[in-house]
A and B are shown apart, each in its own frame.
Chain A
């Protein structure tokens, strides 16, 4: 899978409260509406500016906090093609794959706001077109690749009639 777009840069410790705050709890059963506020508490302009295929590029421990799957879901609904971070919080990482949002761990210090990036999810290659460099991401674990390739965990479960995670 190839993704090409512009980088939106965020810092360390972007929590699920930044992505999908509790004050918008009542919108959790209205995801398209909630997506209009995605990452609002980290960058109030982000939801207005993001274009399909653009990338969220963050520091360490992206998505820490709550189990709310709404967080990766609205990032995906906003059109973001992939989230790159130096590290992810565990539940967010698993949720992202489950809802079919690619996430890659790589050295994001080599990306600045508005850089043009091209990402090959399968190879884990992040090409920074603006800077003319290629950043190698950590490969996704095999289990995650299987779920992501099936289009998320619900599709995986439907397709195989259960878990089919063995090599």
Chain B
């Protein structure tokens, strides 16, 4: 019987002929923790007397959620990670280097590999045909020390996408639309496999956005074929030797198949306080926004910043709206400087934030006031997400966010393109 991508990758890593429903113990190629989950993982390993990393060169400890540290408690938590790195040889990603998921795809992961991470958006690397999934500190601690993890091989939903995006409509709109359609628990436990002509034509940046939000539908992983686009991405980063084709077999068994035509898709917004509360732009246009936040592992890449500049160049933010822009990584930050994007954004009224996760998770750098409304390009709008349970978060593409910054209220980007 043919196999899905996840069945193939987990068979290779467990040494058994694995299918959906099987329990396997799999070798992991890489593991990550961040400054919210890593200190607990280190403490677990100390308790077990196993303060070591089976693959230190591919164990990455990220200081990205509170980077640089806004408080002494967090500075002390960071020391736990720095000490563990010094002791084990694991890689430390410091406060200047950016969001874990962006760096993992830029610098570490290759098609056909297995990544576990103590962060739910670890699934981002699925865009490179990596079986990548989020787990807690205990699972990842044991994975770091032993080089293994246990997994139940998930069933797969195939998402077959056709049609061309209209002007002003992006992969983010597709993903919000899909989550609105199946619900925030619509794919609980399952793997998603994205394919079809629209996906084949999509750049890596768009694929990362889709894979990143797989968990917002409840999924364990969001996977893509490894193709020529994947190859090009690795080549640009000096890893062409790591490329290999990965795809499902023709006769693989899927639990469900969804077919989506994006030709008529509208800019789509997720409204407070759950991600599946989606509406089209027409339904929410005009909602006043106190803050616009553009960045994160979902939409903080160079392609996203280019769209924002395309819409905002020569214009200014509304005087009553704050505009925060956070490049997802140091690489993105430097490239945005080289391309002259940041100067244009700063001129338009943007405050540039150091690459990291702080604003999105409500730790620092962009915490909302009571009753305030923020439109953000991130992946979550839960109550309290941006540091205040009395605030309201809408999720959108970078284009909608940019148009909203200009008007001070949720706006359709198409008039600016």
Contact = CB atoms under 8 A, between A and B. Distances in A.
| A and B: interacting chains | yes
Interface of A: 13, 15, 17-18, 21-23, 25-30, 41, 60-61, 64-70, 87, 89-91, 94-95, 98-99, 141, 143, 152-154, 157-158, 162-163, 165
B313 interface: no
Contacts of B138: 69, 95, 98-99, 152-154
18 contacts: A17-B382, A17-B385, A22-B361, A25-B65, A25-B362, A26-B66, A26-B73, A26-B77, A41-B384, A66-B120, A66-B361, A69-B40, A70-B40, A89-B188, A91-B135, A94-B135, A94-B139, A98-B136
- What 9 A-B pairs are tightest by C-beta distance, nearest first? A69-B136, A22-B362, A95-B136, A26-B73, A61-B185, A22-B361, A15-B382, A17-B382, A67-B134
B402 to A, nearest CB: 25
Nearest to A70: B40
B119 interface: yes
B146 interface: yes
Nearest to A166: B23
B384 A67 contact: no
Contacts of B139: 94-95, 98, 153
A17 B383 CA distance: 7
A41 B384 CA distance: 7
Contacts of B384: 17-18, 21-23, 41
Contact of B387 (A22, A87, A99): A22
Contact of B389 (A27, A41, A65, A158): A41
B383 A41 contact: yes
B148 to A, nearest CB: 7
A18 B362 CA distance: 12
A165 B48 CA distance: 19
Contact of A89 (B76, B141, B185, B361): B185
Contact of B25 (A41, A60, A65, A163): A163
Contact of B184 (A13, A25, A98, A141): A13
Contacts of B220: 90
A29 B73 contact: yes
Contacts of B20: none
Interface residues of B, number: 55
A117 to B, nearest CB: 24
Contacts of A90: 188-189, 218, 220
A154 B136 contact: no
B416 interface: no
Given A18-B384, A22-B362, A23-B363, 13 more contacts: A18-B383, A21-B387, A22-B384, A23-B387, A25-B74, A28-B77, A29-B80, A41-B389, A61-B184, A64-B218, A69-B136, A91-B135, A163-B25
Given A13-B184, A18-B384, A29 B39 contact: yes
A94 B382 contact: no
Contacts of A21: 362, 384, 387, 389
Given A18-B382, A162-B146, A87 B388 contact: no
B36 A68 contact: yes
Given A89-B218, A143-B23, A154-B48, A26 B71 contact: yes
Contacts of A91: 120, 134-136, 215
A65 B120 contact: yes
Interface string B353-388: 000000001110001000000000000101111111
B274 interface: yes
B228 to A, nearest CB: 32
B393 to A, nearest CB: 11
Contacts of A29: 39-40, 73, 76-77, 80
Nearest to B119: A67
B4 interface: no
A154 to B, nearest CB: 6
Contacts of A13: 184, 274
Interface string B223-267: 000000000000000000000000000000000000000000000
A36 to B, nearest CB: 15
Contacts of A165: 23, 25, 150
B192 to A, nearest CB: 13
B142 A67 contact: no
A67 B120 contact: yes
A42 B220 CA distance: 26
Interface string B200-230: 0000000000000001001010000000000
A17 to B, nearest CB: 4
B137 interface: yes
